[in-house]
Amino acid sequence: MAPRPLSQEEIDAALAELPGWESDGDRLRRTYSFAGHLPAAAMVIHVARIQDELDHHADLLLGYNTLAVSVNTHSAGGRITERDVELARRIAAVAPAHDVRS
């Protein structure tokens, strides 16, 4: 069974607990800034491990000192589900270990 898309109220409640994250209606998004390229690249590896553990994968865009994260659930018609919120929570929890600047 496909995961249930969240209502806008549920998305708003989740975002209230995820500083810096936002929604465009179909995706949860966040861009992290770092002191340099190596901390950003290390964060990509950390996020990849979390994604494999959860069997749920975001789109990641690595810049010189940034990492843009964008996630939704394909099996829910490209909508936001609890799986996306859980992935965002896990990413937010490990970000401080990578000296995130914003």
Q: What is the pTM of this model?
A: 0.96
Q: Token pair for residue 44?
A: 């990509």
Residue 18: inside a domain: yes
Residue 77: inside a domain: yes
Output the tens digit of pLDDT for each of the chain's 102 residues. 789 999 999 999 999 999 999 999 899 999 999 999 999 999 999 999 999 999 999 999 999 999 999 999 999 999 999 999 999 999 999 999 999 998
- Give the whole-angstrom CA distance, residue 92 versus residue 43: 11
Query: Domain holding 19: CATH number?
Result: 3.30.1360.20
Domains of the chain: total: 1
The reported pLDDT for the residue numbered 57 is 97
User: Which positions ≥6 away from 54 have C-beta within 8 Å?
Assistant: 83, 86, 87, 90
- With beta carbons less than 8 A apart as the criterion, state whether 6 and 14 touch: yes
Residue 60: inside a domain: yes
Residue 3: inside a domain: no
Residue 1: inside a domain: no
Q: How far is CA 56 from CA 8, 77, 100, in A?
A: 21, 15, 23
